[in-house]
Structure formats: structure tokens, C-alpha cells
Chain A
Amino acid sequence: MEAPRWLSPTLTAGALLVALVISGVILAVVGADPIRVYVHILNSSLGSVGSISDTLVKSTPLILTGLACALAFRMRLWNIGAEGQLLLGAWAASAVVLVPLVPVGTPGVIVLTVMLVAGFLGGAAWGLIPGVLRAKFGVNEIIATLMLNSIAFAWIQYWVFGPWTEGGFQMTRQFPVEAWLPRLSDLADAFPWARGLTVHGGFLIALVAAVVVWLIVERSAWGYEIRLIGDNPRAAKYAGIRIARNILLVFAVSGGLAGIAGMAEVAGVVHRLQDNFSPGYGYTAIIVAYLAKFHPLRVVPVAILFGALILAGREIQPSGVPAMIQGIILFCLIASEVFLRFRVGIVRRLPATTPARAGGE
């Protein structure tokens, strides 16, 4: 017997609401006006066409890193390293322009395609390191990916302060326009309403990626293996599924998705490599994936929600408010799932002979 279909989405919505109430109480205690904070978040993220466009810009890397996490988490592979993989993807994509790996004057379509591939490969390579450590040596992937995040950040700093620096500032020179992802505002001559809209081609790439990951996870034989390993690793092993190989593959694709997020940021937003262009997209992605229940298509709306929070959060004081709200949301979500589980738990007691464990642990 299963919990009714309406229960899970209702609980998620309820958890979000409770999280906002708790955050509001904390805000009130530290002396901020919670209503004004929430109104500000809504206004500056959804108040106009321009701000909706800005929200989509912020949600683009969140969709891609959220997909990276959702794919890995579906196999119960805790890739907390989307941030580092995003940075390495951005670095590899930048290398295409700055080394340069393509001749100067190459048409934009080719430059951007090469950057996209480089971004994927950069992230995938960085994701393969914890994959190999886990598959070959049994090293805990949470710690490994976190260490690699810190190493990736130092790596970026070396390049933007060192070989690629623009006059000693922590940034490279600006990319040539061939390496810019097209923006909606580029169409302003034909469509006046598009003037000033910053949403760029990376958003489309992210939507396509969401569909592709959905096809992989839910509709392919490989996806079946991933889901089986995630739900029941012992059964997967007895079924002859090669777990080590899947760990490597999932880590590579997961890292590659995060790498594309990095490519989209440097080619679509900052148009150069900087040391601080990500406000922790790879960490917020963990919550995005969890809130989407690891479902690739649900990652998109959740990422847009969190994109709004990040966009508005830049101006909110105290500066820790968005991170705090994110943590409270995650806690409320976990707590809300208890209701689902305890329902199932009560039912399970009735037939005393079934050894199945509830809750998918």
C-alpha cells in the first residue's frame, strides 16, 4: 500500500511554507522585518520582465549543476563537488579562447561549440577523480569532492592572478564577441521588447540538458542500472551490474553537466574568467536536486525558484540570509518526508512476514 499521490507534493509545499515561517521568526529575532525581506525577494526577482530575465540567468547554472547532483544522487553517489567541476568547466572553456585553442577569427558557432565540449570535458575530468578514488580505493566521495572544490578554487586563482591575468587584477581579459553566448537583447533590433534582457543561450542548453538527463535516467537501460544501484545496491550486484564502471560513468557525466554550467557562466554572463563568478551554485544545487526529488525535469522549476532567491539575496542584509533560508528549507523537507515514511511504517507492521524495509533506505 502506498501513500496517496497528493501527499508528497502537499508535504513539499507545506515544508517550504514552514521553512519561510521559521526563517521569518529568526529574521524578526535578529531585528530584520521578515515581510519586507520576502516582498523584496519577490519584487527583485519576479517584479518585471527584466528581473524575470535576470532570475533565469541565475537559474541557468543552477539547472545544470542541479542536474549534475540529481543524476549522481539518484545512484546514491554523493557528489558534493559540482562547484569544483563548474570551476574546471569554466577554466577549460576559457582556455579555448585564451590559449587560444581555436584560431582567432573562427566563427562564433564553432568557437562556442568547442567551448561547450571543453567545458563538459573539464568538468568530467574533475568529476572522474573522486569517481576513481571511490571505485578503486573506496574513498568517501563526499570528502574527496569537497577537497577537490578547494583545490579547483586555488587552481582558478592561479590562472586569473598569474598566466591569464589582466594587469594583476583577479580576472582574465575579456573574451572576443565570437565567444559570447547570444543574449535575448541581441534581438532588440527586430523585437523592441527584448531590449536589455540578459537571458542567454545557456538557458536553452540547460533546458535541453534537463530533457537529455531525463531520457537517460527514466527511459534508457543505463538509467535503469543507475536507479537499481541507487535503490538496492545488493540486488544490482547480484543482477550482474558493474557498479565500479557505473560510478565512473555517472561521476563523469555529472561533472560534465556542472562543467557546462561553468562554460555557460563565462560565455554567457561574465565574458571572462574571474575568481569569484560563482556564489556557490554547486552547493545550492544540492538542495535543488533534493527538492526536485532527484527528478531531472523537476530540477528546472526548483532551480528557477532558487535563482530568484540568489538574485534577490545579493542585496539582502545581513548577507547570510539566503544561505540560512536554504538550510532551513532543506531541514523542513527532510522532516516532511518523515510523515510519508511513518504512514508506510504503520502499514508495514500488519503482515509480519514481509522483510522489506520501508522508506527506500
Chain B
Amino acid sequence: MDLQLIMAAGIAVGTILLFAAVGEILAERSGVLNLGVEGMMLIGAVVGYATAVSTGNAWLGVVSAMLAGGLLSLLHAIITITFRADQVVSGLALTFLGTGLAAVLGEGLSKAGAISLLPRFSIPVLSEVPVLGRIAFTEQSILVYVGYLLVPATWYWINRTRPGLHLRAVGEEPAAADALGVSVYATRYRYVFVGGMLSGLAGATITLAVQPGWFGALTVNGRGWIAIGLVIFAQWSPFRAAAGAYLFGAVVQLTLAMQLPPTILGLANPFYEYHPNTFFLEMLPYTLVLVALVLGSREAMRKRIGAPAALGIPYVRGERGR
């Protein structure tokens, strides 16, 4: 087992979760919980792949995937922001709709054959750095590098810019933000849409860069839900979300790699000896999310930090805030 290669693959797989989690952080920071990430990722994955298949251009695939994810999220925005319906149920409906619609749109797409993927390359100087260079900067997809830039940029946007201040105000104290002239509705629409676009990008990251091909609902395989779990674990911070996403990706890749060698550290490999044991490896990532949620929730309780105060609560103009 080459641990550095496993870590490198973990970063690539983690980038999928990273995009979805950062998108969800932005939506939730504005006060809108969107549980439709799984559905939006599936739509992004299928639309991106289908566009790349029919046009031969992977970049067009990325753009259309982001648009499709954004459009689907607007449905959630209309239902929850304008009509003030329950965000939990609307998000679940979005996942159902996205899953079914993706299966309908993806009919026959699994036999599409090879397509041109997004470019992969090494970063000239950084890839020479020992260990880290080989893990993070060698022969990665361009989207992995986009992910590296997105995280600090999102942090800066949320915490150091005026629109970011408005975003936080809308998520924490919508009535106060409204009184200061920030449009609560427009802000929430904007960030739900951006969140949807990033979920679509996460889907396209799967089909056009990291794990190319269309395999129905298995293409995303519950990773939208893992991204939502990651947001809670990350306490709505992009940097913590990135760390969690890469760590999770590395664990997934490690569980795959552990099935192959006959011996590990000189001991007989139980996952090689008896194949059904590998199903316990499959449980490991999900168990890890549960453990992370317990740790994250305990820390949040202790430090008294947590979800944006207005998360999940529809805003009604003119009503006294809670």
C-alpha cells in the first residue's frame, strides 16, 4: 500500500464533499437548511455528464451541472423563503425529485462510453515539496485545485467582506438585517442558489473528474447526506469542512485499499481472507460520520456555538423576531 497515493486519491474524493459542504454552509449561513443536496448532486452529475457526452466538452458539462443544481435549488427557495413552508420536508422532497429526475434523464447514459474529462496536472514548484507535494499537488484534477482556492475565498467572503456581513446578519438576526436595509429574501435566494450551484459542481466533480461515468443513484451514493453531516461537524466553518472532507475521502480510499493485500504489517488480512468482512469496512465511513457528529455536537454545546440562530425559521416581514 502506497499511503501517499491513497491520501492523494482521498483528496480527490474529498473534493466532491468539499464543494457540496461549502455550498450548504453558504445556504445555512443565510438561514435556509437545504436537505436536497443529494438530489442536487445527482442532477448535477447527470446533467454534467450528459452535456459532456453530447457536446464533447467537459467544461460545458461543468457549467450546465452548476446551472441545473442552482435551478433545482430555486424550487426549494420558492417553497421555503417565499411560501415559508417547512424546510425539512421541502429539502426531502428535493432529494426525491432530484433522484427520480436524474434516473429518468440518465436513462441509457451508462452505456455512453469514454468521454473527455477535465484536465489533470501537477503544480510546478509545489509538487516538488516532500510528501505534501505528491499528495496534494501531483496529477490532480483542476477541480481539486479549485477546491483549494474556494475554501479560503469563502472564509474571506463570509468573515471579512460587507456582503458576508450581510449574509451572517440575515442568518442570525434577520429582523435587524432587514431594519438596516438588507433584503432578507433576496439574500437567502442568492445563497440558496449558490449552494445549489456548488452541489451541482460536486455532482459534476464525480462524473467529469474523479469517478467518471453514470451509475444511476449509486453515482452519488448518499454523499450528499454525508456533506450535510459534515457541515454540522464543521460548525459552519469552510476550513473545518475542508479538513473533514479530505479526512473522510482518505478514510474511504483507505478502506478500499485495505481489501487488496493478502497481509497487512505481516498479519493475515481478514478482509482478503474472507470477503464478507469487507462489508464492515463499508460501514466504517458512516460510523465515522456518526462519531464526528457526536464529538462536534458536544463541542458545540460546550462552547455554546452552533447553528445560525435563524436556521430553519422562515422570515416574515413586519413580525417581531424571536
Interface residues of A (CB under 8 A from B): 26, 30, 78, 80, 133, 137-140, 142-144, 146-148, 150-151, 154-155, 157-158, 161-163, 165, 283, 286-287, 290, 317-328, 330-331, 334-335, 337-338, 341, 355, 359, 361
Task: List chain A residues, Cβ under 8 A from B297.
Answer: 137-140
Are A290 and B89 neighbours in the complex by a CB distance under 8 Å? yes
Choose among B86, B92, B228, B287 the residue with the greatest number of A CB atoms under 10 Å from its CB.
B92
Residue of A nearest to B233 (CB): A143
CB distance from A244 to the nearest CB of B (A): 14
Complexed CA–CA distance, A312 and B309 (Å): 45
Residue of A nearest to B79 (CB): A334
CB distance from B98 to the nearest CB of A (A): 7
Are A155 and B79 neighbours in the complex by a CB distance under 8 Å? no
Are A317 and B275 neighbours in the complex by a CB distance under 8 Å? no
B286 contacts partner chain A, Cβ-Cβ < 8 Å: yes
Are A323 and B89 neighbours in the complex by a CB distance under 8 Å? no
Are B103 and A144 neighbours in the complex by a CB distance under 8 Å? no
Are B274 and A162 neighbours in the complex by a CB distance under 8 Å? yes
Are A324 and B293 neighbours in the complex by a CB distance under 8 Å? no
Inter-chain pairs besides A140-B297, A331-B97, A334-B89, 17 sampled, C-beta below 8 Å: A26-B101, A26-B104, A133-B293, A133-B294, A142-B228, A143-B225, A143-B228, A150-B286, A151-B286, A151-B287, A155-B283, A317-B107, A320-B101, A328-B97, A331-B93, A331-B94, A361-B86
Q: Mask for B73-97, Cβ within 8 A of A = 1, else 0?
A: 0010001000111101110111111
CB distance from A240 to the nearest CB of B (A): 23
Are B279 and A143 neighbours in the complex by a CB distance under 8 Å? no
Top 3 nearest A-B pairs (CB, nearest first) are: A320-B103, A324-B100, A162-B276
Beta-carbon contacts under 8 Å, B274-322 to A = 274-277, 279-280, 282-283, 286-287, 289-290, 293-294, 297-298, 300-301, 313-314, 320
Residue of B nearest to A27 (CB): B104
The one of A80, A157, A338 in contact with B92, judged by C-beta atoms closer than 8 angstroms, is A80
B133 contacts partner chain A, Cβ-Cβ < 8 Å: no
Are A158 and B279 neighbours in the complex by a CB distance under 8 Å? yes
Q: How large is the interface on B (under 10, 10 to 19, 20 to 34, 35 or more residues)?
A: 35 or more
Task: List chain A residues, Cβ under 8 A from B320.
Answer: 355
Task: List chain A residues, Cβ under 8 A from B276.
Answer: 157-158, 161-163, 165
| Chain A-chain B contacts (Cβ-Cβ < 8 Å), number | 153
The one of B75, B100, B300, B314 in contact with A320, judged by C-beta atoms closer than 8 angstroms, is B100
Residue of B nearest to A163 (CB): B276
Task: List chain A residues, Cβ under 8 A from B95.
Answer: 327
Choose among A137, A151, A163, A319 the residue with the greatest number of B CB atoms under 10 Å from its CB.
A151
B164 contacts partner chain A, Cβ-Cβ < 8 Å: no
Are B222 and A146 neighbours in the complex by a CB distance under 8 Å? yes
Are A137 and B298 neighbours in the complex by a CB distance under 8 Å? yes
CB distance from B145 to the nearest CB of A (A): 29
Beta-carbon contacts under 8 Å, B99-149 to A = 99-107
CB distance from A139 to the nearest CB of B (A): 5
Are A338 and B301 neighbours in the complex by a CB distance under 8 Å? no
Q: Quick one: given A137-B294, A139-B297, A334-B89, are A322 and B100 in contact (CB under 8 Å)?
A: yes
B232 contacts partner chain A, Cβ-Cβ < 8 Å: yes
